[in-house]
């Protein structure tokens, strides 16, 4: 029987990240992992999350993997790259949240400089999800990292202008996030491009749902986005990012289950998103990172 290979009319944009060590994501002209169709020049990449403060909410099984390094973002980032082979580091400026330590943009900038010094892989920098504070902190930090070609987030439909302008002037890429809504995702990308921001510096985030917490819904939106992008919709033909680690470790199963539950949850969530076409997976546990990297390798080489 003849095997039908889908031919797509368009390609996903290729986003280049980093200054010292450069990584490219996206550029697909087909669906990942389908033999004969997956002309994907860049495999999916795994980023590991590093916080600017010790993450008190993390369960012990997650914290224990990093030991004392959790107290120093520079050491923590270095450990993720050297020991756990993270492709990118995702620095979360959690302490800047007004309900947390409410640290200033300047303090966040110092942490960012420290992390930049410690590693050479590309950096993702995200705020604390407090919109007003994020605008202040991220604008400052984007300038600190000028020329480093980082990926900054997170722009939403209600709050994208400040971050877009900051990324534009400092030459960073941007994460555009929609609440699992493909129509809003497209609209936000148009709004960002209307500010003269280049479309090939946008990475889409469809608010990640972990296994058991909306994974199927997010998966289907991500798959639709990828198919729309490959079919010629320029405002959806961007690479995608997913925060599989963060969402998995938020679940009650990960927090209260036996030792390995959270790790397995993270692996299951991450590998599902790999199949939806995700280009960057932001992960937490080193064991989950190891397994996901093996999966990427197995999928791309098809076990050969």
- Tell me the closest approach of the beta carbon of residue 30 to other proteins, in angstroms: 20
Which residue number, 107 or 181, has a Cβ lying nearer to other proteins? 181
Q: Please count the CA atoms within 13 angstroms of the CA of 161 that sit on its side-chain side.
A: 2
Q: How far apart are CA 20 and CA 252, in angstroms?
A: 39
- Tell me the closest approach of the beta carbon of residue 176 to other proteins, in angstroms: 12
Query: Does 186 engage in binding with other proteins (CB under 8 A)?
Result: yes
Q: Which residue has the tokens 């900038």?
A: 109
Q: Quick one: the chain helix, strand, coil %, rounded to 5?
A: 45, 15, 40
Query: Does 223 engage in binding with other proteins (CB under 8 A)?
Result: no
Query: Does 180 engage in binding with other proteins (CB under 8 A)?
Result: no
Taking contact as CB under 8 A, which single stretch among the options 59-67, 131-139, 178-186, 203-211 is the one that binds other proteins? Answer: 178-186
Please name the residues in contact with 4: beta carbons below 8 A apart, sequence gap of 6 or more: none
Selected binder of other proteins within 182, 221, 244, 288 (CB under 8 A): 182
Please name the residues in contact with 211: beta carbons below 8 A apart, sequence gap of 6 or more: 248, 251, 265, 268, 269, 272
Q: CA triplet 177, 183, 186: central angle to 5 degrees?
A: 60
Hey, which residues between 232 and 291 contact other proteins (CB under 8 A)?
A: 232-236
Selected binder of other proteins within 17, 228, 240, 283 (CB under 8 A): 228
Q: How far apart are CA 130 and CA 144, in angstroms?
A: 20
Query: Does 172 engage in binding with other proteins (CB under 8 A)?
Result: no
Residues that bind other proteins (rule: CB under 8 A) add up to a total of 14
- Tell me the closest approach of the beta carbon of residue 190 to other proteins, in angstroms: 5
Q: Please count the CA atoms within 13 angstroms of the CA of 184 that sit on its side-chain side.
A: 15
Contact letters for other proteins, residues 187-206 (x by CB under 8 A): x--xx-x-------------
- Tell me the closest approach of the beta carbon of residue 180 to other proteins, in angstroms: 14
- Which residues bind to other proteins, rule: CB under 8 A? 182-184, 186-187, 190-191, 193, 228, 232-236
């Amino acid at each position: 029987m003849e095997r039908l290979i889908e031919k797509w009319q368009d390609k996903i944009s290729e986003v280049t990240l980093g200054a010292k060590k450069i990584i490219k994501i996206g550029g697909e002209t087909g669906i990942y992992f389908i033999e004969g169709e997956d002309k994907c020049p860049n495999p999916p990449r795994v980023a590991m999350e590093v916080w600017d403060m010790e993450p008190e909410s993390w369960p012990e099984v997650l914290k224990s993997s990093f030991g004392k390094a959790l107290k120093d973002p520079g050491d923590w980032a270095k450990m993720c790259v050297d020991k756990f082979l993270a492709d990118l580091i995702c620095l979360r400026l959690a302490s800047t949240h007004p309900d947390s330590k409410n640290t200033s943009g300047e303090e966040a900038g110092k942490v960012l400089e420290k992390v930049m010094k410690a590693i050479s892989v590309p950096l993702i920098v995200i705020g604390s999800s407090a919109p007003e504070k994020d605008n202040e902190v991220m604008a400052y930090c984007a300038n600190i990292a000028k020329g480093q070609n980082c990926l900054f987030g997170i722009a939403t439909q209600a709050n994208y202008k400040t971050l877009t302008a900051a990324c534009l002037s400092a030459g960073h890429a941007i994460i555009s996030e929609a609440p699992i809504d493909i129509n809003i995702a497209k609209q936000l990308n148009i709004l960002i491009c209307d500010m003269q921001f280049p479309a090939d510096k946008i990475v889409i985030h469809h608010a990640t749902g972990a296994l058991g917490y909306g994974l199927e819904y997010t998966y289907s939106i991500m798959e639709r986005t990828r198919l729309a992008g490959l079919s010629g919709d320029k405002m959806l033909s961007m690479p995608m990012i997913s925060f599989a680690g963060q969402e998995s470790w938020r679940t009650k199963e990960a927090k209260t289950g036996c030792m390995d539950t959270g790790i397995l949850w993270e692996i299951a969530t991450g590998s599902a998103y790999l199949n939806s076409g995700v280009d960057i997976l932001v992960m937490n546990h080193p064991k989950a990172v190891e397994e996901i990297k093996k999966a990427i390798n197995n999928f791309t080489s098809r076990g050969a």
